[in-house]
Amino acid sequence: GTTLGASAAESGRYFGTAVAANKLSDSTYVGILNREFNMVTPENEMKWDATEPSQNQFNYTNADRIVSHAQANGMRIRGHALAWHSQQPGWVQNLSGTALRQAMLNHVTQVATHYKGKIHSWDVVNEAFADGGTGARRDSNLQRTGDDWIEAAFRAARAADPGAKLCYNDYNTDGQNAKSNAVYAMVQDFKSRGVPIDCVGFQSHFNPNSPVPSDYQANLQRFANLGIDVQITELDIEGSGTAQADNYSRVIKACMAVSRCTGITVWGIRDSDSWRSSGTPLLFDASGNKKPAYTSTLNALNGG
């Protein structure tokens, strides 16, 4: 293939990007988006603060703009994210206990129902485990409603949109470590008890302090061996030139080597679109030109 999306499709995979609704009027941005990508993840527009700014008052304006653009251009959509400790509206931050649990379940149900039939995969729960060596759950207001909040969210999402793949998504789980071991144990437990889960997303935000792990492919494979799909969901890699290109190639090749690694999403299009505003972690420069990392990614998707 000659584009990222077409090349990924040749092996039955997708190649996606995070999209910001307010950039859909930027013709350079949209030109690259429509040419290269066949999956989109709304970068912020489906989060709790965006979709339910006041309790039971839902606002889908910006998220719907991205969904419409995707549908008009034959792109699939990864919903992001239904239940997360971050980017909660103020009214949620002021709740606890049963009231928070019910608000979370209502949010999952309402948003998944609004988008029923339109979402390929949902990040149902995002970033629920703690960093470091404990393998514990992250302390958050959602966690304090009870350990079963994650499975409750997955069951509510399945009931609302039975056709969507339901994923758990996290960072610093890209190699084998205490955090990824804890996620692994959760998935194993969910599978053994029939809690609906279809996929695990590996965010894959890499930089010199957090490089691509040497056991990246092995880690993807062990999760796939649990009988779920895996995806690379928020890929960006700090650096430039050949070193950055080589790191991108390693990540893409790892996914290509795991049959249940069904797709790759980069977290933005141009370096200037990145959440790492000072960095250059993406595949296109600020002018929209292809970087060496683009070429190595394309070659890896094409088996080179």
User: Which residues bind to ligand G3I, rule: CB under 6 A?
Assistant: 43-44, 86-87, 126, 171, 203, 234, 275
Clarify whether 36 is annotated catalytic.
no
Cβ contact 214:251 at 8 Å: no
Cβ contact 299:292 at 8 Å: no
Closest approach, Cβ 106 to ligand G3I, in A, equals 21
- H helices present in 115-240, as ranges: 149-160, 178-193, 216-224
Cis bond upstream, residue 257 (ω within 30): no
Q: Which is nearer to ligand G3I, 86 or 96 (CB)?
A: 86
Query: 117: which 2 tokens?
Result: 């039939």
Query: By three-state DSSP, how is residue 253 classified?
Result: helix
CB atoms within 10 A of CB 34: 16
Closest approach, Cβ 146 to ligand G3I, in A, equals 23
Cβ contact 274:20 at 8 Å: no
For residue 156, report the phi and psi dihedrals to the nearest 5 degrees. -65, -40
Query: 225: which 2 tokens?
Result: 């061996």
Closest approach, Cβ 2 to ligand G3I, in A, equals 28
Q: Which is nearer to ligand G3I, 126 or 217 (CB)?
A: 126
Q: Which is nearer to ligand G3I, 150 or 300 (CB)?
A: 150
| Nearest 10 degrees: Cα torsion 37, 172, 260, 262 | -10
Q: Which is nearer to ligand G3I, 57 or 98 (CB)?
A: 57
Q: How does DSSP assign 169-201, residue by residue?
A: EESS-SSSSHHHHHHHHHHHHHHHHT----EEE
Closest approach, Cβ 282 to ligand G3I, in A, equals 12
Closest approach, Cβ 8 to ligand G3I, in A, equals 21
Closest residue by Cα to residue 164 from 77, 271, 283, 58: 77
Q: Which is nearer to ligand G3I, 115 or 171 (CB)?
A: 171
3-state helix, strand, coil in the chain (%, to 5): 40, 20, 40
Closest approach, Cβ 247 to ligand G3I, in A, equals 18
With CB atoms as reference, the residue minimizing the distance to ligand G3I is 275
Task: Considering the candidates 52, 127, 234, 238, report the single residue annotated as catalytic.
Answer: 234
- H helices present in 60-148, as ranges: 61-72, 90-93, 97-114
Q: Which residues carry out catalysis?
A: 234
